[in-house]
Chains A and B, each alone.
Chain A
Amino acid sequence: MDTMRDRFAPVVTRLLDEDPRVAVVLAEIGADGFAEAARRHPDRVVNVGIREQLMVGAAAGLALTGLRPVVHTFASFLVERPFEQVKLDLGHQDAGAVLVSAAASFDWPAGGYTHMAPGDVALLDTLDGWTVHVPGHPDEAETLLRHAIAAGDDKVYVRLSVQSNQQGLPVDGERFRTVREGRSGVVVAVGPLLDAVLAATEGLDVTVLYATTVRPFDGAALRRATETAGTDVVLVEPYLAGTSTAAANDALADVPHRVLGLGVGRRELRRYGQIEEHAAAHGLDARSLRERIGSFLGAATAA
């Protein structure tokens, strides 16, 4: 199967052809994929070299002239390194952009911690007005990229990963999707963790919601799900554990409820190896998830 990132350059290249507002800003990473697009649109495909502060600042300048910049590199160099540019050059200047990241939390474990960005979504949560898409399949990534670029002058973050579910599902860029219904708990699976969550909750009497757009957080869908499945909620996120716990609590503020936030741990593992090994180390493989979800929800969930 191809990856989400394999779809990125072709999709955006087509949009460059179709929409004169679209521009791409890169900092070397990913530039090869845009070689042909750069020949066709030399002024709208900009590679600024290995300069991430300039990449985001220049994107803001493009936006201020009326263009729709699409900015791409690894998450650690897109959100973390130039964070003040994201905060000020986009947010404070009231300029929109689409930030498209790759490498996610641990897509390249052998690359080590410098190329891991489990905190990207939590960082964006400190800012106002960001839409955050976390596709779980290349088909979903393609849909959400188009949705993000078409979203006027909104500030949108699209988090691409080599981790993927086997099957893509229809996504609308807004709402959570109910993929399983039960009566004894709600599990929200974000993006590429859906397959692991479905395997982990096999035979449990729980509702599983699938989230590919996590900001704004679809509190209404969570609330509806709790009406039949009760107010025990587990969030399973492919980035920092607990990132959406506050959003879930806010959605259920006026009813007694419990929330368990599962995701990537803060502790630096200082390990290389494979994605599966890191998923297991963070308790995000199906077996660990089943233990943790089952223990939280209790024996009553057994079907």
Chain B
Amino acid sequence: MSMTTTTRTYTYADLPELMGLMTGDEKHGPAATSTLDVLWVLYDRVLRVGPERLTDPERDRFLLSKGHGPMAYYAVLAAKGFLPVEWLPGFGSYDSPLGHHPDRTLVPGAEIGSGSLGHGLPIAVGTALGLRAQGLHEPRVWTLIGDAELDEGSNHEAIAFAGPAGLERLHTVVVDNSSASYARPGGIAARFEAAGWSALTVDGRDHEALHAAFTAPHPGRPHVVVARVEPKSA
């Protein structure tokens, strides 16, 4: 008898079931789902990554900066074969590699650990610089941040630098669920644009719109996609 493991193919429709295997993070429930569609479209159609190329220098880099509510992230990583589905029920337990904030040294495919807000974008800037310095011009660098995470000043150091530095391989997706206490309509894209970024704002639940925004050309400039979803408080 062959010992080969049957690999099940998961689709977007399977994600709620995968997320359902994780419990104990009720506080971050709504935040977890705000990122679901963005993560799925990126991992399913945009990022050139995979469990077989975790250390491939030519892989794209996805840095989850908004580490709160990582259930959608773990579900997508499981669906794409980075980690076993069997890990999901242990979410948050002492022996589980899957915490309520991800740790890159424990989670296959996680490029960074996150939890404290405002760290992913500066690290993504350095990642884009490091790839460029080594002549690796193909890999794209992505980071996902939340709209309230933009409160953190470290992001603004990165935004203000990356535009004038022309970091074309750098991409940011801001999942905007209106959770910032102080915000102005259109303010997110405007701040990136003022720093010289290419910026698009789309419906964060519309997979075709997300894909189009994620793959829009932006020669010579870093690119931000503001993905608007239902308000956290709604």
Asked if A66 and B113 make an inter-chain contact with CB atoms under 8 angstroms apart, the answer reads no
Interface of B is mostly: helix
A226 and B220 CA atoms in complex are apart in Å by 64
Given the known interface contacts A66-B57, A88-B116, the answer about A61 and B161 at a Cβ–Cβ threshold of 8 Å is no
A59 and B158 CA atoms in complex are apart in Å by 12
A54 within 8 A of B: yes
Asked if A62 and B133 make an inter-chain contact with CB atoms under 8 angstroms apart, the answer reads yes
CB contacts (< 8 Å) of A20 on chain B: these are 134
| Cβ-neighbour of A54 out of B104, B112, B131, B158 (below 8 A) | B158
Task: Name which residue of chain A comes closest to B154, CB basis.
Answer: A53
CB contacts (< 8 Å) of A67 on chain B: these are 130, 133-134
A215 and B121 CA atoms in complex are apart in Å by 31
CB contacts (< 8 Å) of A235 on chain B: these are none
Asked if B125 and A58 make an inter-chain contact with CB atoms under 8 angstroms apart, the answer reads yes
| Cβ-neighbour of A57 out of B103, B104, B126, B136 (below 8 A) | B126
Asked if A49 and B133 make an inter-chain contact with CB atoms under 8 angstroms apart, the answer reads no
Residue among A54, A59, A66, A94 having the largest count of chain B Cβ atoms under 10 Å: A54
CB contacts (< 8 Å) of B21 on chain A: these are none
Asked if A54 and B161 make an inter-chain contact with CB atoms under 8 angstroms apart, the answer reads yes
A251 and B112 CA atoms in complex are apart in Å by 36
A64 within 8 A of B: yes
Residue among B112, B122, B128 having the largest count of chain A Cβ atoms under 10 Å: B122
Asked if A54 and B119 make an inter-chain contact with CB atoms under 8 angstroms apart, the answer reads no
Asked if B129 and A62 make an inter-chain contact with CB atoms under 8 angstroms apart, the answer reads yes
A43 within 8 A of B: yes
Interface size (B, Cβ < 8 Å)? 31
Asked if A93 and B113 make an inter-chain contact with CB atoms under 8 angstroms apart, the answer reads yes
Task: Name which residue of chain B comes closest to A27, CB basis.
Answer: B157
Residue among B103, B119, B123 having the largest count of chain A Cβ atoms under 10 Å: B123
Asked if A94 and B104 make an inter-chain contact with CB atoms under 8 angstroms apart, the answer reads yes
A61 and B136 CA atoms in complex are apart in Å by 14
CB contacts (< 8 Å) of B104 on chain A: these are 93-94
CB contacts (< 8 Å) of A49 on chain B: these are 157, 160-161
B44 within 8 A of A: no
A93 and B63 CA atoms in complex are apart in Å by 12
**From residue 124 to 172 of chain B, which have CB atoms closer than 8 A to chain A?**
124-134, 136, 153-154, 157-158, 160-161
A25 and B123 CA atoms in complex are apart in Å by 13
Asked if B122 and A54 make an inter-chain contact with CB atoms under 8 angstroms apart, the answer reads yes
B111 within 8 A of A: yes
Question: Distance (Å) between the CB of A155 and the closest chain B CB?
Answer: 15
A6 and B135 CA atoms in complex are apart in Å by 31
Asked if B125 and A64 make an inter-chain contact with CB atoms under 8 angstroms apart, the answer reads no
Known: A53-B154, A65-B133; 5 extra A-B contacts, CB below 8 A, are A57-B119, A57-B123, A60-B126, A62-B133, A65-B136
A-B contacts, 14 of them at CB < 8 A, read A23-B130, A23-B133, A54-B122, A54-B154, A57-B125, A57-B126, A58-B129, A59-B126, A61-B122, A64-B130, A65-B131, A84-B116, A88-B119, A93-B104
- Report the 10 A-B pairs with minimum CB-CB distance, sorted nearest first: A61-B126, A57-B122, A65-B130, A58-B126, A51-B157, A43-B133, A61-B127, A54-B157, A62-B130, A53-B154
